[in-house]
Amino acid sequence: MSTLRSLRDQTALLPGGRVLGYDDLGPADAPVVLYFHGVPGSRRDAGVWSAARAAEKAGVRVVAVDRPGCGASTFVRGRRVTDWPADVIALADRLKIERFAVLGWSGGAPYALACGAQPYDRVLRVGVVSGVGRLDQPEMRIGLNPTTGRFFRLNHERPRIGRLLDWSMALGARRGPQRLLTQSRAALPEPDRDVLLDPDAGAAYVAAISECFRSGTRGGQLDTSLAVGTWGFEPEQVTTPVLVWHGRLDVNAPVAVAERLARRLPAATLSVHDGEGHLSVLCTHAVRILADLTAAASRG
């Protein structure tokens, strides 16, 4: 019988002395999915989609990781999206995980894709859920929520002002969480509003933002800027099979972004869900998504 784990607030020491923060959830001896959070976010946003419960149901071990400068992970000045796979491999080595899948939600999507663009046979599959695109893509601008668009543009194009906006969000998460939730719900379609009405999901959403900026705003600002800026690789370079899930009602990353991405990837399967938004598609289908991502490992 598998041993369930719920190891939260863990840190792993990387070569060079940096640390990565992570939560380790699900059966200890099960196939592994490394989960990459959204922006602004941290490992805590795995709680929005009840990752621990979904991991148990799917029979999958989920390791939710903070990127550098977010949550408990050490800030790295001048880092790039393409630097992330090396950190992922170092973490996998530290946790004695040989092969694994990766899952990027929202702003975590380019970081997941970067892992699939590297010559690592250890990455079995890449999952992209509600993935953002680059701001220079027209698909990213058509149907994008104005509030989300402003957040992306300021963090990418005007970082000092972006950090002020981030500071305001962090303050709201800590001192006025209900107001922050109300403001967030107002800018989202009904399926996503329903997600944030759930007390546990709403609390995880607020906690993810607060945790993102626990050491200041520079890490979260850079993380967002990289997600919607130049990734340093093209989708055509992603040789690992990619599973793409997207909600048709998504206003934080319009569905046209996912359709364009799937066309450009060499080996992609696209699943567009009517009646789902940016948050709800992962919350609704988390067990199936984890199972699909680890199917290759199960066959192996």
Maximum C-alpha span of the chain: 52
* pTM of the predicted model as reported, rounded to 2 decimal places: 0.96
3-state secondary structure 178-209: HHHHHHHHHCCCHHHHHHHHCHHHHHHHHHHH
Nearest alpha-carbon partner for 117 in 5, 30, 209, 240: 240
* Residue-level pLDDT, tens digit, the chain, 300 residues: 456 667 899 999 998 999 999 999 999 999 999 999 999 999 999 999 999 999 999 999 999 999 999 999 999 999 999 999 999 999 999 999 999 999 999 999 999 999 999 987 899 999 999 999 999 999 998 889 999 999 999 999 999 999 999 999 999 999 999 999 999 999 999 999 999 999 999 999 999 999 999 999 999 999 999 999 999 999 999 999 999 999 999 999 999 999 999 999 999 999 999 999 999 999 999 999 999 999 955 444
d(CA 169, CA 28): 35
CA–CA separation, 184 vs 165, rounded Å?
14
From CA 8, how far away is CA 24, in angstroms rounded? 6
Residue 123, H or E segment: strand 123-129
Q: What are 100-147's pLDDT values in tens digits?
A: 999 999 999 999 999 999 987 899 999 999 999 999 999 998 889 999
Name every residue whose Cβ is closer than 8 Å to that of residue 154 and which is 6 or more positions away in sequence: 161, 162, 165
**221/157 Cα distance (integer angstroms):** 11
Extract the tokens encoding 104: 């990027």
pLDDT in tens, 138-166: 999 888 999 999 999 999 999 999 999 99
